[in-house]
Amino acid sequence: MAAPTTTTNNPAFDPDLDKPDDPTHELAQFGGGCFWGVEIAFQRVPGVAKTEVGYSQGHLPDPDYRAESKEAKQSELKEGKKVVTEILPAKRFYRAEEYHQQYLEKGGGRGNRQSAAKGCNDPIRCYG
């Protein structure tokens, strides 16, 4: 199979070529503000095999949390407008740093582990 080619000078604008590890699974991407809370909510859903948090739709290749939040704030200040969320087809997905993965299940910044058990209805507390 030939290596995928990019269609722009910036890989962040190219289509996402991710595929599930298991060919019997399907891949879905969701956008959300606090990705820790969104992730644990999906971890609890029966039938969800794997979750990963990360970044998409930006113009920075290989972004990280600090770069993305700084970029959003600078854009907001520069234009004098509120940051809005657009609903667009997904482009390239960049997996977030390892410490963000399953963050709330691992205890977050305060050491308060939250259950990711299938069907769990405990409140989700989204804080670092």
pLDDT number for residue 59: 72
Domain boundaries, the chain: 28-128
The per-residue pLDDT for range 16-69, each reduced to its tens digit, is: 777 888 889 998 888 887 889 999 999 999 999 999 998 887 777 777 766 655
Predicted pLDDT at 128: 55
Question: Residue 120: CA atoms inside 13 Å, Cβ hemisphere, count?
Answer: 14
Cα 125 to Cα 5, 109, 111, distances in angstroms = 41, 12, 12
Name the most confidently modeled range: 8-17, 49-58, 81-90. 49-58
Other C-beta atoms closer than 10 Å to the C-beta of 93 total 16
Can you state the percent helix, strand and coil of the chain, rounding each to 5?
25, 5, 70
- Nearest Cα neighbor of 116 from 102, 97, 99, 98 is 102
What integer is the mean pLDDT of 104-121? 92
